[in-house]
Chains A and B, each alone.
Chain A
């Protein structure tokens, strides 16, 4: 089974020169073995970014939540916990791009593409309620509630690209969230 799916305007900020960049590679196993490291890493990266803001404290919460969401998903859904996930932050001045890259199993790629298609076509509030109900009935941990919340409550612009893994097995997943810097500064 092969999935090729693109959600959102994937390259919307690619022609802007970034002012600031930061990239971290993790072996997912390191985070699976010590889950607290996800939150610690998200807090650290959010703190790193927040210094660019006039109101760092107001930006900190949103940045940490969004980074944590992307990082946890990338780790959780990595097929091989020894293949690195990459988290990169780019500050373009007006917007901040946070990108997580990992390789997942084929079945997850299919389910994720299905979820994104619903996100694209359905009312986000209805989807939110539907996924809460789904979450109560399912133990799979793939509710997508975190992603819905990022878009719904944090004004995040979401872009995802799912492609067959270059190495062979599974699928490469790139999730990019773009946040408005001005809104973060006065959040």
Chain B
């Protein structure tokens, strides 16, 4: 019998730090959008536009806000946030009533306004920097009040992803996601979903469903990175 050796995890670099901060300038947003475009185009053959969106033609909308992760002065990861028109409401058929229903079930109807929702999206790690848990750090920071709330905004959080993302990111992190709807079929997701890995839209009630230590993490902040290894998760972890 031939034995196939297990893939090795090669150490590539010494430990470093990752600085997480909000995008504040035109340049910040542009770098974020170019990183997302680059990675999503390579992985999913998707293009982006601000005013011409057609999911069946593989043209996606850009997020409204961005969280940035810098390592050694280079932008290595980004998380986007839909603020004005969330993806799940625009394309997923999620209604105010869907959100209201889940808030009511959780006894939070008075605490949150179903009309004020944001959605984390386009979590992207520059491919050459996967394997340093950068994706997990930015995923964690994206679930902080510093990223999701503003003085005049105390939103519920919406998310759209395939089942594997929920199983491998949200559940191990201790984030509760509340099913809203199956996500309709669009050509843009054909490399992202499959019958055994379906996509759905879900609700996260921030102060109930996100671990307190994540929710209260301040931004900007700098975190230590472990030693880099090959073979960790893919560069995009969200649709």
Q: Which residues of B contact A54 (CB under 8 A)?
A: 26, 29
Would you give the shortest CB distance from B53 to chain A, in whole angstroms?
14
**Interface 9-residue window, one of A89-97, A130-138, A148-156:** A89-97
Q: Which residues of B contact A185 (CB under 8 A)?
A: 26
Q: Which residues of A contact B29 (CB under 8 A)?
A: 54
Q: Which residues of A contact B28 (CB under 8 A)?
A: 93
Q: Interface size of B by Cβ–Cβ distance < 8 Å?
A: 10
A51 on the B face (CB < 8 A): yes
A53 on the B face (CB < 8 A): yes
B34 pairs with A53, CB closer than 8 A: no
Would you give the shortest CB distance from B48 to chain A, in whole angstroms?
10
B50 pairs with A51, CB closer than 8 A: yes
Q: Which residues of A contact B84 (CB under 8 A)?
A: none
Bound Cα distance A93, B33 (Å): 11
- Contact string against A for B residues 12-34, beta-carbon threshold 8 Å, 1 for contact and 0 otherwise: 00000000000001111111011
A20 on the B face (CB < 8 A): yes
B26 pairs with A52, CB closer than 8 A: yes
Shortest Cβ distance from A16 into B: residue: B27
- Contact string against A for B residues 85-128, beta-carbon threshold 8 Å, 1 for contact and 0 otherwise: 00000000000000000000000000000000000000000000
Q: Which residues of B contact A184 (CB under 8 A)?
A: 26
Among candidates A51, A53, A93, A182, residue contacting B31 with C-beta atoms closer than 8 Å: A93
B50 pairs with A93, CB closer than 8 A: no
* Interface size, A (range): 10 to 19
B30 pairs with A52, CB closer than 8 A: yes
User: What total of A-B pairs shows CB separation below 8 Å?
Assistant: 33
- Contact string against B for A residues 8-38, beta-carbon threshold 8 Å, 1 for contact and 0 otherwise: 0000000000011000000000000000000
B27 pairs with A94, CB closer than 8 A: yes
B26 pairs with A181, CB closer than 8 A: yes
B27 pairs with A53, CB closer than 8 A: no
Residues of B within 8 A of A (CB): 25-31, 33-34, 50
Q: 18 other contacts beyond A181-B27, A181-B30, with CB at 8 A cut-off?
A: A19-B27, A19-B30, A19-B31, A19-B34, A20-B30, A52-B33, A54-B26, A93-B25, A93-B30, A93-B31, A94-B25, A94-B26, A94-B27, A181-B26, A182-B25, A182-B26, A182-B27, A184-B26
Please list 28 pairs of residues, one from A and one from B, whose beta carbons are closer than 8 Å in the complex, sorted by A's number: A19-B27, A19-B30, A19-B31, A19-B34, A20-B30, A51-B50, A52-B26, A52-B30, A52-B33, A53-B26, A54-B26, A54-B29, A91-B30, A92-B27, A93-B25, A93-B27, A93-B28, A93-B30, A93-B31, A94-B25, A94-B26, A94-B27, A181-B25, A181-B27, A181-B30, A182-B26, A182-B27, A185-B26
